[in-house]
Structure 1
Amino acid sequence: MLPFHGFVLAYTALVVLAAASQDKFALTAYQQYAEQLGPLFFLALPVVLISVRAMLGFIGLHRPTWQGVGRGFAEFCGRLASAALTITTFILFLGSFTTFKTLMPVLMGGFPYDHLQANIDAFLHGGVDPGPALLNLLGDPLLLQALRWNYAVVWMAFTFVPVFFIAVMREAEGVRLRYFLSFAFVWTVLGSLLACLFLSAGPAFYAFVTGDAARFDPQLQALLERSGPTYQPYLWQSYLDGTVGLGTGISAFPSVHVGAAMMNALFLREINRIAGFFGFAYVAVIAVSSVLLGWHYAIDGYVSIAVVWLLHSGLKRALGGGNKTAQATILIASPIPATP
């Protein structure tokens, strides 16, 4: 896992230098991520893992011989210790990611690319903004509430919970390293590099950054009436106040939501074609939701899918894709596999 640790340390150093150059140390998010994710990764999920192993042993599906109990327990504790270091680095990475995301409007002087990206989006869709068009098709209040809950809650669970179980898995070490490097590369390339170079706020904040309230406000008002308030105002107020917290920072292009789902779908396809099918179906749901709910332009998802596919293919060639036996051990070693 040294390449992953090294990459995160280098990325963190660059983020800290960026914060120092703007005298914005108050925008660092490390404490918030340690406080929020520490109990999840170092208490709740280990308890789940140990409980599942105990339950499997109780019902006879995972019952080692007495001779192997001591050796197996020592090996299990060793894997937990190794996973603790990986998870610590992972939390550090997320803190750096959010810190830089919060800094991007400072570095770029605002959000300069919304008008251009919205126009490109409309051009590619026959002169029509896809968000309002989707709302006309998928505007049922119950459906909107379900999609919003999935986008905010289920996506986070599918994105972050498997990280712990992959960190502690026993076999297919090459897959584990490739997964964590993929996670870091996807979030850095999509959410830091490309996002900063082409910084936009998205349809939800289009009126604030362009002064044009007529283009997307009807969509946002209809969403408010049919499915209730979101935390979009919280993000904008955090931006105005110059505060930082879990998940703060605004950027639309490209979509990390879609990118993370795509990354997991590609790994699922390596394990099982059926699992891969559901993974790609989930990518489609997230991509449509991101546009329908006003978070993104459609091109944000398109670019994310293409970039993640290129990153995944490149890492697979560089590190090796493993064989089907090694890939299958992800499912065996993890009570919760790397699902999107």
Structure 2
Amino acid sequence: MNMRDESTRRWAGEVPIYGTALALFAVCAVLLASRGIALDAEPALANAWLYLVAIIAWISVDAALHLARRRPGEPIAALHRRYAGPAAAKRWLAGTPLLALCVLLMPFFSKMKAAIPLFNDYAWDGAFIVWDRAIFFGHDAWQVLQPLFGYPPITAALAVLYHAWFLLLYFGCLYFAFATIDPAIRRRFFLTYVLAWSVIGGGAATLLASVGPCFVGPLLGDSSFDAQMAYLRAADAQVPVMTLSVQEMLLEWHLADANGLGSGITAMPSMHVAIAFLFWLAARRVSRTAGRWLLAFFLAIWIGSVHLAYHYAVDGLVSVVLVAILWRASALIFHWWDGRLAASAARIQPILRTKTVPAE
């Protein structure tokens, strides 16, 4: 089987991913157009540039490690075989559609996220505050976490990890698109990834529109989390807390009606928690070690989302439940799709034999 045939076979198995993505992109485009928002290429180009930087960084690190371990006599030839040889070219070709999907996905999500106020009012914060207090016996979630994490160095570290989450979107997705792993894991990951951004980050976020603890004061006039924000600013005066400047930037963009890459305000559900949980679900099936690290990272992101005033605890809880449902649904979808492919192949094979074998 040549390179094109192998790639075509892989792409056929991934059709549910592309079909779902195209359908959801079309729905987003129609919804945005109904509110007078046109799609533009600038966010996608910016995202493509970020993926290019990630690819260059990944190859640079991988090349250095490869040369250090193998110490080949002809380094240039060895690197050429690793990144441009037949096996590498097959991986690049086969994974390119998934890379293109990732490049387009975030710009669509950012547009929808920024447009939430056009479809629904931010009316759910009060309910989520009540839900959190019901879970934590009358206390806000951040107050329960404060004795353990309420120290400036820990707060600053959680803020760094919270920003490091973006590496999952680039290096993590590149790994799942191009690495030699079980195709079943790759397909479930990407279908769940597409559905998570669309169903959770788009649909659920619009239906359950909320701004989160850090924004209820400036946007809704609610002082419930003034004490938490006062602590974060005091911690920032001792050790820089990166999330505070990002929160200020998001607020400025929101007030200016900006809808570029990464813009928009929404708390419920938490996409940070959702994506971190998804990576753990997938990575643990590839490597036990990676699974343990990503479980710790997922828990740190959930804790950080509350401690840093981005989210209520229930935001992460809802995200985990929805991702678990989508992860299971993706397995059922591919079970159905593989059955269709097998049935189609069974119908075609007799036809091919009659066309290639001479009649007696």
In the TM superposition, residue 86 of structure 1 has moved relative to its aligned partner by 2.0
2:319 maps to 1:304: yes
The 2-side partners of 1:100 and 1:190 are apart by 12
Partner of 1:195: 205
Given the alignment, which residue of 90, 103, 109 partners 1:91? 103
The 2-side partners of 1:172 and 1:30 are apart by 34
Given the alignment, which residue of 18, 24, 35 partners 1:11? 24
The 2-side partners of 1:24 and 1:103 are apart by 9
- 8 Å Cα contact 1:141/1:226 also seen in 2: yes
Change in CA separation of 1:134 and 1:198 when aligned onto 2, cut-off 3 Å: same
Partner of 2:278: 263
Q: Structure 1 stretch 156-165 or stretch 12-21: which is displaced more?
A: 156-165
SS at match of 1:135: helix
Partner of 1:124: 135
Query: What's the % identity of the aligned pairs?
Result: 26
- 8 Å Cα contact 1:138/1:144 also seen in 2: yes
Change in CA separation of 1:317 and 1:17 when aligned onto 2, cut-off 3 Å: closer
Partner of 2:58: 48
In the TM superposition, residue 75 of structure 1 has moved relative to its aligned partner by 3.4
The 1-side partners of 2:255 and 2:285 are apart by 43
Partner of 2:35: 22
Partner of 1:149: 160
Change in CA separation of 1:252 and 1:317 when aligned onto 2, cut-off 3 Å: same
Structure 1: which 5+ runs fail to align? Answer: 321-340
Change in CA separation of 1:277 and 1:48 when aligned onto 2, cut-off 3 Å: closer
2:278 maps to 1:278: no
Question: 2:312 is aligned with what amino acid?
Answer: Y
Of structures 1 and 2, the larger Rg is shown by 2
The 2-side partners of 1:48 and 1:137 are apart by 36
TM norm structure 2 = 0.78
Q: Structure 1 stretch 203-212 or stretch 122-131: which is displaced more?
A: 203-212
Given the alignment, which residue of 291, 303, 307 partners 1:288? 303
The 2-side partners of 1:16 and 1:285 are apart by 35
Q: 1:147-197 deviations in whole A, cap 9, x for unaligned?
A: 111101x11113421211221224522322222111111222221111111
In the TM superposition, residue 29 of structure 1 has moved relative to its aligned partner by 6.6
The 2-side partners of 1:248 and 1:54 are apart by 36
Change in CA separation of 1:61 and 1:7 when aligned onto 2, cut-off 3 Å: farther
For these two proteins, the number of residue pairs brought into alignment is: 313
The 1-side partners of 2:156 and 2:45 are apart by 30
Partner of 2:226: 217
In the TM superposition, residue 274 of structure 1 has moved relative to its aligned partner by 4.3
2:160 maps to 1:162: no
Structure 2: which 5+ runs fail to align? Answer: 1-13, 336-360
Partner of 1:185: 195
2:125 maps to 1:114: yes
